[in-house]
Structure 1
Amino acid sequence: MTALQLCIAVLITVAPAWVWLDRLVPANLPGRGFLLTGYSTVLGVLATTLVMRLLSLLGIPFSLYSIGAAGLLLALAGWFAPAHWRSPTSAGQVQALQQPMTRLQVLLITLCLALLAARLLTLGLEVGTRPVTSWDAKQHWTKQARVFFELRSVVPYVSLQEWLDLDGQGVFTNMHPDYPVATPLLQAWTAVAIGQWHESLVNLPWLLIWMAMGLVCYSQARLAGASAALAIGATYMLLSMPLLNVHVALAGYADPLMATCYLAAVAAFYNWSQGRQAWLLILALISAAGCMLIKNEGFYWFLSLLPGILLVLAGLRRGLLILAVIALALLCVLWLMPADTVVAGHSLAGADIRYRPQSWLPIYLSFLVHDNWHFLAYLVLAALLAAPLFFRATLPLAAVIVSALLLYLTLYLFTSNAAGAVRFTSLNRVALQLMPAAGFFSLVVLLHWGQRQECD
């Protein structure tokens, strides 16, 4: 019975997003099913949390029936949406994605699929049998999820002082009451679906997120021009990253969902920058906006997409000039802004802005020495050096990745979050949010290098 309830919950989560995306994505796109499944999973997960928040505002308690009914209404609305929203697929794009495969490519694809299936099985055993053990989950997210489940509603969380002033009447508290609630709502939704709080099964969404990341990477890599063998190889390298697998096996952190959402945004943005198909830009913006539902830093990852969009629309030379003016204006705003102004959960006073060189060593060790990302950090550095010299078509995507990395370095070199770098507590978790997208950028540069070799 529990397995059936979980399957119904997955259907309620994914189906409405699938129906809406089916009205958006070109009908004859090769690999369309992979793209629809990946994006409908990650966007459906976020949409379900919004549905739960809406039900709470309306005073309707959480249940499989109430959330399922809302999902059914959304699916029906998408079903009746006009099909002419779909963009046409170019004949060249279809032809490029339907090239015949050699025996070696078939062997590589088979091997990667077997390895991914084995990893999915082992991760499934970990997630399905291990109780909540991850630090953030035990200290923050899962506690909040348990409250939402028991009360069948989203309830207000306030600061400790406000909670004391109100004697805890009608409010709750934790260490970060201003954090978005998408992550605990995922666990609460799973518990609602099976009708009980289960310390292991509430973490099953992390397995879905892992699979969605792979589907997004594969489908967008194919759209970018990668062969099936190269796309599945890149997908395996992504899904086998050590730190990503740790975060899935020890489920409960918000970072894998953020990583998947940001990858979905960046990959869709790149393919839009090449063909200017509106549906890809829509996917990119929706996915980037979804980052803001997950953690406070999602606001900055959303902003990191804007320099790339500007370079595409205004051209490289004019776009770089506009970006320089915007950067100067932002510095002036930061200089004049009151120190207690809160942006995305942080203020200048709380950030304690000053240079902290002690963070350089942990950053170096995390990216280039520790076994967190295999050799991905080296590939990203090489791609960033090669892009402006040889591959101008990748510069808008490079601008997005560089913007995100600069924001990351600013966080740990110039703010009080440097403690998270020196102690290796948050340094890798925040990096995990960016590394899949950075890996996709490396793949894109590799594709352009291959095309250049063919031309020569």
Structure 2
Amino acid sequence: MLIFAYLLPWITGTIWLVWLESFSAQRQQVNLPRALGYGFFLGYFLCSASIWFLYTVFGQLSAAMVTAVLLLLSALGFFLSWRKYHHGQLAIHVKAPDIKGWDKWLALFLLTLIIVHLAATAYDTYSRPLLPWDAWGTWTYRAKIWFLNQDLSPFVSAENWLNTANPGIYTIPAHNYPAIVSLIQLWPVMLHGQWNDALAIFPGLLAGIALVLALYGQGKSLDWPALLLIAGVYLLISIPLLDAHLALPGYADLWLGGFAGLGFVALLQWSQSRDKIQLLTGLLFLGLGVLIKREGSLWLIVGLLFVIMQVLSWKLLLAMAASAVVAILSGYSLVDLPWLGQIGYADGIFYLPRLGTIILQPRDVSLAVITNLFSSSSWNLLYFFLSASLLLVLMHGKGNARYPVMSFVFLLSAVIATVFFLSAEGEWAKNSTAFNRLLLQLLPALIFVLQLNWQALFPQPANPQTDEKR
């Protein structure tokens, strides 16, 4: 039953990803790793949304009804995919990567290390008690309350909780955090019938496997050499901070890495292939990230700016930037967006939808940022590799990856500068926690940028195995 609980949302999401990618003009065969990777996160979002919707309509938590909805969605998605692929021509071919010589032994070695990493984190997930603070105090705590009460009990501020006599209302400091991650953790124990911390947070480990598959599949769609794909996957799974979130799951940053991180990977892939379905996938995942954690709104704005930078000319971009400066100086840079709230800058305050405000308070945290990126053991040598590759790409890079990569890095740098150098949030850079967790949310995209840089510096012939591409 537990295997069924973990796999059903994954299967549902994968089927719908296959259907979505069937509209791609560049489609040849189903890109199974990419569909499985992105499908996992889409499926678990659909599962949690089904729990919330059915509770809203019927007023009860029912594993049977959620199962029925997911099975119905799976059947509908399969039928639509079957028709889209011309009644039975939906073909999935799985073959081992074509690697020869010493590259083959290096690839096998890296695959072994990847399996060891995942096996070790799986053991930790099941053998260690629930530990991460935000999991214990927010995400998993809500899921446990909901399971024990068999309802979606509301959480309010401490002030409102003190002013109510209703025993069915609860409070936590992060009472206004989105509910999706807690609903994801609620799902397996709903089917199991008994509360168990390890079972509730185990989807977090599966999320790590999905990140691996998605990153591999996106590189495969660009016909990158198999060794480069495997090396990128190993680099991703060997990042100590990611390993910590896999071995001690329960935080929402890992899930936002699946939505925002993979959303940016899809946008970067689109910048190379111009596959409109990848553009749609990237924006869809960034949009869903808004419902995972508050920072998702920030990444959606950055994603939209990235797309704008790829489709508009330099002259128009400069005109827009000049207009923004004039608007700020004249005091007309604050816009009220329907359903989202205010966005812009006024009177020393940045307004961001769903994120609230960031008060302009410049501070120098450059030493803390450098320490976190280059001296901290959380990232191994990732930022050394990234910095060197970016410098080399600027000097000697080939192909069409330079501008998208630099656009992404520029926007990410602007976010870091605004949040940590220009506001009181800079204090979080000094204690490392919030700063590193913010970058963890984009880790798949950072690895993909490194791979793009490698291809720009050392162009290699297309992978001869093309039956699974795109």
TM-score bracket, normalised by the shorter chain, equals 0.7 to 0.9
Residue of structure 2 equivalent to 1:24: 20
Look up the match of 1:375: 381
Per-residue deviation, 1:434: 2.1
Shift of 1:330: 6.8
Determine helix, strand or coil for the equivalent of 2:458. helix
Distance 2:279 2:325 in 1: 24
2:351 is equivalent to residue 344 of structure 1: no
Q: Deviations over 1:308-341 (max 9, x none)?
A: 2113322455445435545765783244379697
Code of the aligned partner of 1:199:
D
Quote the Cα distance in structure 2 between the aligned partners of 1:116 and 1:293.
30
Q: Is the 8 A contact 2:368 2:429 kept in 1?
A: yes
The AA in structure 2 aligned to 1:231 is L
Counterpart AA for 1:310: I
The aligned residue for residue 217 of structure 1 is: 215
**With structure 1 as the length reference, what TM-score do the two structures score?**
0.88
CA contact (8 A) 1:307 1:396 kept: no
Shift of 1:386: 4.3
Give the structure, 1 or 2, with the largest relative contact order (CA under 8 Å, sep 6 or more).
2
Q: In the superposition, relative to structure 1, how do residues 210 and 29 fare at CA in structure 2: closer, same or farther (>3 Å)?
A: farther
Distance between the aligned counterparts of 2:437 and 2:6, measured in 1? Answer: 26
Deviation at 1:155, TM superposition (A): 2.9
Instruction: Decide whether the 8 Å contact of 1:128 with 1:200 is kept in 2.
Output: yes
In the TM superposition, what are the counterparts of 1:120-159 in structure 2 within 5 Å?
120-159=118-157
Distance in 2 separating the partners of 1:180 and 1:308: 25
Aligned AA (1:362): A
Superposition deviation, residue 274 in structure 1 = 2.2
Residue 448 of structure 1: aligned partner: 456
Aligned residues between the structures? 437
CA contact (8 A) 2:215 2:448 kept: yes
Equivalent position amino acid for 2:118 in 1: L
Structure 1 residue runs without a partner (length 5+):
88-96
Contact 1:225 1:447 in 2 (8 A): no
1:435 to 440, 443, 455: 443
In structure 2, do the counterparts of structure 1 residues 327 and 103 end up closer, same or farther at CA, with 3 Å as the change threshold? Answer: farther
Give the match's secondary structure for 1:393: coil
SS of residue paired to 2:459 = helix
- Match of 2:40, SS state, is helix
RMSD: 2.8
Distance 1:319 1:64 in 2: 50
Secondary structure at 2:293 match in 1: coil
Aligned to 1:353: 360
What's the offset of the Cα at 1:62? 2.4
Measured after TM superposition, the shift of residue 117 of structure 1 is 1.3
Q: Is the 8 A contact 1:311 1:320 kept in 2?
A: no
In structure 1, the residue matched to 2:91 is: none
Gaps of 5+ in 2: 87-94, 335-343, 463-470
Structure 2 CA distance for aligned equivalents of residues 84 and 426 of structure 1: 47
Contact 1:213/1:263 (<8 A) preserved: no
Are the equivalent residues in 2 in contact too, given 1:311–1:319 (CA < 8 A)?
Answer: yes
Contact kept, 8 Å, 1:383 with 1:445, in 2: the verdict is: yes
The whole-number CA distance in structure 1 between the counterparts of 2:205 and 2:105 is: 26
Q: 1:410 to 1:17 in 2, by over 3 A?
A: same
The residue number in structure 2 matching 1:393 is 400
1:260 paired residue among 227, 242, 258: 258
What is the alpha-carbon distance in structure 2 between the residues aligned to residue 326 and residue 86 of structure 1?
A: 46
Structure 1, 121-130 or 261-270: larger mean CA deviation: 261-270
Alpha carbons 2:263, 2:285 under 8 Å: kept = yes
The answer as to whether partners of 1:404 and 1:434 remain within 8 angstroms in 2 is no
Quickly say closer, same or farther: Cα 1:187–1:100, change in 2 above 3 A: closer
Distance in 2, matches of 1:340 and 1:271, equals 31
The 5 A counterparts of 1:242-253 are 242-253=240-251
2:368 to 357, 362, 367: 362
Aligned to 1:36: 35
CA contact (8 A) 2:9 2:43 kept: yes
**Higher deviation after alignment, 28-37 or 289-298:** 28-37
Moved over 4 A (4+): 26-31, 82-87, 97-100, 326-331, 337-342, 386-389
Amino acid in the other structure paired with 1:112: L
Secondary structure of the corresponding residue to residue 416 of structure 1: coil
Alignment of 1:158-307 (within 5 A): 158-307=156-305
Distance between the aligned counterparts of 1:59 and 1:122, measured in 2?
41
| 2:337 aligned partner | none
